[in-house]
Structure formats: structure tokens, C-alpha cells
Amino acid sequence: MKTLKYIAILATFFLISSASARNIEIRIMQTSDIHGNFYPYDFITGHGSDGSLARVATAVTEARENGKMPLILLDNGDILQGQPTAYYYNYVDTASRHLAAEMLNFIGYDAATVGNHDMETGTKVLKRYASDCAMPVLGANIIDKRTGNPAFQPYKIINHDGIRIAVLGLITPAIPAWLPETLWEGLRFDDMEETAQKWLPIIKQRHNPHAIIGLFHSGQSGNILAGHKENASVEVAKNVPGFDIVMMGHDHRRENRKIANIARDSVLIINPANNANTIASVIMTFNVNEHGNVTGKTVKGNLLDMSGYKPDSAFVKKFATQKETVKNYVSQTIGTINKTISTREAFFGPSEFVDLIHTLQLAITGADISMAAPLSYDASIPAGTITMADMFSLYKYENLLYVMELKGKEIKGYLEESYGKWTNQMKSPNDNLLLFKQKVQSGDKSRSTLLYPSYNFDSAAGIIYEVDVTKPKGSRVTIKSMADGSAFNPEKTYRVALNSYRGNGGGELLTNGAGIEHSRLKERIVYSTDRDLRHYLAEYISAQKEITPKKLNHWKFVPEKWVVPASERDIRLLFNR
């Protein structure tokens, strides 16, 4: 009997203990690289679009209303560039509260980070956006040179049901490789891994969190630019023990997998890519004992496709006035163009599209030579009226326009690097002209992808040259003369018009190609516009009233008997037509 009584008491004890122990689930949702895609409408093309914050609002509302768990909502930067919605509230209407901040506040975000394209707007715009946000905008490795402290809040602690979750925000430190210092004056960008090593012990000592999330505007891995690791998220996840989740961005690549860090702990790395077409959704489950202590936790990540979600009606109604304001802005007439132009032919030789940019850059600056690339993979401007919306097709980014002094031999090296990224070395007539990363058969639903982005495919105007694609990288370009027939001198210094991304080292055409040290690039800049190049292009077109695009034909691929049929094959692969 005593034995039975003892068993009954023991059973009762375990029942009471197990009844007080519980599991707590918390959902974390992340957007990244929204690039101004606030509405389910593309203000550049005038058509409906996938993704958008309007659809994210629906997914978030459903998660809050239908879920039995608290929700943490995070944005990972690059929200202030891309669609005219962002541009308008960055530079045109600077008196209103920033639309991006208003939308994040309406949806109820808990924290955000700074992206490189947010930094590209300049500190005045960025600080305005951050101050308009109801939640903190994080950036532990964006340092105020004057104080030595972070210029933005480094982390945030979020509490739900007694569970403390820390969110540490970091940005890719490669900003100086892309942006002029005038846009980030007074700041520096520290190494991500070193910054994480500094802040994790501080966070643990001060707050003893139950979980730590890295919110990093940086891709998985790769690229050393101007001495900075551009994409270091996986390195940080592996080399700095303590993170349960690393939420990535910047490289526009979907990812959802677990890796082991150096302490052999599991870390979820997840990336929803760009344009709010997908969002990251992570469920963390915490095992809590009868004393309230966390004894274990699990992490499960998922990527949610937004195409199945309807735009949130409350969101659409709330921001309907701003939508109409931006639609009116992009509908403004700039001038007219008497021929349809497209970036498609720019991959295979001179094109009216890129040569229009060359013509305008030379006219605006009076430079000897212009450098420009097809910034958009597949953009076009139809014949007829040119609107402000078309200007976003003509010029995708908010780059400044520079004039730099380069020697003739540096210009040749610059072009060698460009065409080395652009073209394959053809060893037979059946080879590809373009340098593909992946090829698919013509007619496949997916398209072939290039090894390097097209915004690094700079051609030149103002000089006459050939590109022999049968030769190896570094020896393909032969410059024959200046465009006016005068001699081209490798030792002469020329004034070259190009964008600020390139002038600050972007794409490494000036460093790896021209052989100029990154620290010396600033010395070569003799002129810079105060506003973005798109503004001056619109101004010039407006003054001209009518534009007649034409090919300058200052360069060509050779041998043509190989190049012409290869171009016909490659355009089918590249554009699936």
C-alpha cells in the first residue's frame, strides 16, 4: 500500500510539473530590398505588379489575427530606392512625413536596418526617414566618426510572453566602393564580423536574451570591394556564436537553410530576396519549464510567396491619396521621342538606348569621352511622349554624373575589364558571345542568366574601337582613334563622363581595369552634379523637346561573321524569344 501511495504522490507531482511547463511560439517575419514597391502597381510601366507592401500588410494581418503566437516584424533595408514612390518622397515632397516610414508604421514593424541604397539617398533623406519611423532603424556598424559611436541604434530587445529576443542590425560595409563621400560624410562603415564580435557580449551581459537575430543588409558571401567584405552574412553566422537566426538581404537571392557555427550550434539563414515578392516567416518555439526558464528552442523558416495575397484594403485606402500624387508626378510630359528604344540590343553592340545616354552625358558635361551601361536588364521607351515614368526606365539609379581625368591607357584598361565581364572568349563560331552563368535551351520557361550584372557592361562614346571576342580577357579592345578622327594617345589625359557608382569604384572597372587605387579615385574627379543624373537627363530632354535617338556606332564586336549569328542565338537565350 505504501508503494502505491508513493507512486500516486509521484505521479501527481509530475502532472503538476508538466502542467506548469509550456511551449511558447513566436513568429518573426522579414521583408528586404523592397525598393519602393509599396503598391501593387508599377509606376514606371503603368501596370499592376506582384509583391508590394500592400500584400505584405495582408499577410501580416492574417498572421496576427489567425495565429496564436506573437509576431515580430522586421525590414532589412533598401526601401528608399527603386520605384518613383520612393524617389518622390525622397526629393520632391520633402515636407510630408516619408511615405515609406508611414507605411511601415501602419503595418506595425518592430525594427528595420539601413541598406546601401538607403544610404545612397544621402544622410538628410535617410535621417528624415528614420526619424519618421515609429520603430528604430538599426545600424551597429555605421559609425559617427566624431563620437566613435554608432550613428544609428545598434540593436533592439523585444519581449513577448517573458521571452527576450535581441535584434542586431548591420549593413554591408562596402558603401565607399559605390557612393561618393558627400552622401555619407562624417560616417564610417566597420567590418560586420568585428562589429558582431563586439556587440554580442554586450547584448548578452545587459539583457541575457533567450534568442538573438542578426538583421543584416548583406548577402551570403563573396566580393572584397575597397578592402571591405560586401557579403559577409554567412561568415558572421558561422564565426560569431550566439545567433539563432541571420536574416539576410542585399543580394536579392532567396535562401532558407540551416548551417552550423564554430560552436556547432545551428543557425537559420534566410533571405526573402527583393521587391516584396516574398517574405521570410520564421517560427521559434521556446521550451519553458515550471520555473519559467527556457530549456530548449527550435527554429523553423519558411518563404511566403506574396502573389497569392490580395492587397490589404485598409492599407490601400489609407495611402490612396499618395498613390494618386505619385501617378500624377510620373505622368508629367518631359518631351517626345520619335523611335522606340530598348536595352535588349545594347548587349550585342551599339544601341539607340545606351547611345542616347552617351549623347546626353557628353552634351551635359562637354567631356571628351562618355562611359555608360544598360542599367536595366530589359527596359524600353516607346515612341511618342516621354513622361517622367520613362525617365526611370532610361536611368534606373540615383547616380550622380561625374567627369574624371583618365589617361588613354587607363581608358583601354577600363574597357578591357568591362568587356571581360560582358563577353565570352569565342573559340569557334558556335560559341556564345555573352558570358553566361547558366544557359537553358531556347523556349524553356526560365531564361539564361549572365555571369555579371549588365550595369557593369560599360561601352564608350567619343572614341572609335573594336572588341575582338576571339581574344582572351585583357586583350580584346583596340582603340583606333577619337570620334572626330584625331589620334587617340595612350599617354594623354582625357575628360571622361561617367556615373558616380563607377567613379567611386563600382564594378571595379577603374580599379582592376584601369589600375587606379581605390583611395586615389577621388583625386581624379574634376566635376560632379549636385543632383542625380536622371534629373539632368530629364532637364536636357525637356529643353530639347524632341529626341531623335540614333546609334553612334563608335564601336563594334569582331569578327562579325562569328558575332552576328552568335548574337541571334544569345538573344533567344537571354530573353527567351
Q: For helices 533-544 and 352-365, give the axis angle rounded to 10 degrees.
A: 90
Among 265, 288, 304, where does a domain finish?
304
Q: Is residue 353 part of a domain?
A: yes
User: Do 449 and 485 lie in a common domain?
Assistant: yes
* Side-chain-side CA neighbours of residue 332 (13 Å): 14
Torsion sign across C-alpha atoms 105, 109, 113, 116: negative
φ, ψ of residue 221 in degrees (nearest 5) = -165, 165
In terms of Cβ atoms closer than 10 Å to its own Cβ (0-12, 13-18, 19+), residue 296 is exposed
Number of residues in the chain: 577
Nearest Cα to 312, choosing from 525, 65, 561, 28? 65
Going through 145-186 in order, the beta strands assigned E by DSSP cover 155-160, 163-171
The answer to the question of residue 551 being in a domain is yes
Residues of the chain with pLDDT under 70: 1-19, 438-448, 577
| pLDDT score of 390 | 95
Strand 187-189 relative to strand 142-144, pairing: antiparallel
Whether residues 242 and 155 fall in one domain? yes
3-state secondary structure of 94: coil
Specify whether 247 is located in the same domain as 343.
no
In angstroms, the CA 507 to CA 402 distance is 16
Evaluate whether residue 315 is within a structural domain. no
Both 336 and 280 in a single domain? no
What pLDDT is recorded for position 438?
A: 65
* Count of domains forming the chain: 2
Reported as a single tens digit per residue, the pLDDT across 487-534 is 999 999 999 999 999 999 999 999 999 999 999 999 999 999 999 999
- Does residue 522 lie in a domain region? yes
The CATH number of residue 256's host domain is 3.60.21.10
Do both 360 and 433 map to the same domain?
A: yes
- Are 126 and 219 found together in one domain? yes
- The answer to whether position 316 is within a domain reads no
Residue 467 three-state SS: strand
Select from 256, 286, 304 the last residue of a domain: 304
361 and 466 share one domain: yes
* Domain membership of residue 412 as a residue range: 332-575
| 453 CB neighbour count, 10 Å cutoff | 14
Residue 160 resides in a domain: yes
Q: Are 356 and 462 within one domain? A: yes
Same domain, 242 and 336: no
pTM (two decimals)? 0.90
Q: How far apart are CA 28 and CA 30, in angstroms?
A: 7
Same domain, 341 and 211: no
Q: What is the CATH number of the domain that holds 378?
A: 3.90.780.10
Each residue's pLDDT tens digit, 207-243: 999 999 999 999 998 778 878 899 999 999 999 999 9
Answer yes or no: do 242 and 141 share one domain. yes
Residues 236 and 199 grouped into a single domain: yes
Residue 559 is assigned to a structural domain of this protein: yes
pLDDT at 577: 59
Residue type, 307: S
- Tell me whether residue 554 is in a domain: yes
